[in-house]
Amino acid sequence: MGGLTDRELEVIERLAAGRTNREIADELVLSVRTVDRHVARIFEKLGVNSRAAAASQFERARTELGNAVG
């Protein structure tokens, strides 16, 4: 997912797994506010406005990468 930072990739992976911002913050040892900002930047970079749309793009990109590698 070009354009996302390593931290944003960590966040979107957890977001796609259905975790809340609080759960993501706890797992990554971040404040909820920091996770909120990461999620907002992810939405902006992907051109989406929902967690479901971001998760869908992430899963599609992961599948395409897996197909390219395998």
CB 39 within 8 A of CB 49: no
Backbone angles phi, psi at 28, to 5 degrees: -95, 5
pLDDT, residue 14, reads 98
Count of other CB atoms within 10 angstroms of residue 61? 15
**Reported confidence tier of residue 70, pLDDT bands at 50, 70, 90:** low
- Evaluate if pTM is beyond 0.85: yes
Query: Tens digit of pLDDT for each residue in 16-61?
Result: 999 999 999 999 999 999 999 999 999 999 999 999 999 999 999 9
